[in-house]
Amino acid sequence: MSASLPDAAATGGRRRELRALWRLALPLAAGHAGNQMMSFVDTAMVGRLGAEALAGVAIGNGIFFTLTILGFGCVLGMDPLVSQALGAGEDERARRLLGQGLRVAVMLGLPLAVLSAIAPYALPFAGVDAATAHEAQRFVLGRAPSAIPFLLFAAQRSYLQARGATRAILLGTVLSNGINFIGNALLIYGDQTLVRLGLPACGLPALGVIGSGISSTVALVFLVAFLGFAIRALHGPTERGVRRSDPALQARILSFGFPLGLQFLAEVGVFALAGVLAGRMSARAAAGHQVAITLASLSFCVSLGIGAATSVRVGLHIGQGDTPGARRSGQLGLVSAAAFMSCSALVFLLLPGALARLLTDDSGVIAAAVPLVMIAAVFQISDGTQAVAAGALRGAGDTRVSLIANVICHYGIGLPIAIGLGFGAGMGAPGLWWGLTAGLTAVAIGLTARFLRLSSRAIRRA
């Protein structure tokens, strides 16, 4: 009887931890899905303009996120610092970290916005056809200003999720998506939308893809303003000492965030590069790639939510000096992600055509997307596992190993296989995606092994 008591206590501890993890993960997953919905809506609304417009948005979004994700990761260097501070009961330090994170976001956001606007003009030199390159340039011109609010949102989200105040993230994301949907309808198609709704035309111009970019920018500005009010309501006006610039704390954020930003850059970059390579094959191949990656990104959002929750839970436990609790949080996060992504893999395998038709009515694009959606089913578990393992390591303050794993696995394993199969073996876009699958699987194995090894001994606070 007495021998069973420790087992019962351990089981109860796992159940409590799993409940705490999912209470945090569900709204965060919904928030991530809402952010991805902006790209989903952009793709769906632009998909009716033709393959060149759809491919242009695909490549443009890839360029924008490839560049700004570096800054996004830098700001998320807050994650282990904020969660560990709160775990140790240091609320004032957590608030100072928020203020410095917002400063870092502004400092990085402006140059990244300029770079994003310029980068698409290099596409013709990469072999992308002129019509697709032109559409990408126009889309990013409208999207580039959102780099600053995108990074501000990263700082706000990091703080709110560590405080457990996730409802504001969810509500703000839902409202901003509503704004983006309306903005897309009005700015892409102009008076045509008003007429379809039975309203009189007012001379509203149809801006096409640039209207989609502008709409996303406006939606992100709203989201940042909404979360700003939510943070103020959480603890009232912020004292001057908490707001004052602290270069040492900013450097501390960047010391964790820069490797994380490079890790995100490596991961997002390889998918963006695959989109450019698909664009070299044909506009239809690039459009099919965008449809499939948009669908895969939606399911991945749940794993991102679980990964973010796991990062917070691991960080809180470490702040409390509880390494076994941190290990338990990481393991439960990994199991949760694998379970969900197994279900999404089944949906992708059974309904690839129906899913593709949610984004485009072009039969050629649907035909190009279907095999890619089915390949995405294969890498679902690997994709979810690597996201949560990276989150667990981030909560522990270990961001450098995640960077090394992503660079080696994506560019040393995945990309060579993708190019070899896509071009050398003549498999086209499916060959590119099999290479991506190999890279993701290698990352998942490496990061999971790293977390299990790291958490097998006491983890020091960051």
Tell me, what's the pLDDT at 279? 80
Per DSSP, the three-state class of 357 is coil
How far CA 441 is from CA of 53, 210, 393, 444, 446, in Å, comes to 32, 36, 17, 5, 9
Burial-class residue 80 by CB neighbours within 10 Å (0-12, 13-18, 19+): buried
Segments in the chain below pLDDT 70: 1-12, 47, 236-243, 462
- Residue type, position 159, single letter: Y
pLDDT at residue number 202: 83
Three-state DSSP at 322 gives: coil
Residue where the block lists tokens 């949760």: 336
For residue 113, give both structure tokens: 């916005």
CA-CA distance, 85 to 343, in Å (whole number)?
Answer: 36
State the Cα–Cα distance between residues 297 and 305, nearest whole angstrom: 12
Number of H helices, E strands in the chain: 19, 0
Model confidence pTM above 0.75: yes
Query: How many residues can be counted in the chain?
Result: 462
Phi, psi of 456 (to 5 degrees): -80, -5
**Contact, 102 vs 178, CB < 8 A?**
no
Predicted pLDDT at 3: 45
DSSP category for residue 462: -
pLDDT at 12: 59
**pLDDT tens digits along 152-206:** 999 999 999 888 888 898 899 889 989 998 998 888 888 787 778 777 778 888 8
| CB of 412 closer than 8 Å to CB of 298 | no
The answer to whether the CB of 396 falls within 8 A of the CB of 383 is no
Phi-psi category of residue 200: left, alpha or beta, with phi > 0 → left and psi -120 to 50 → alpha: beta
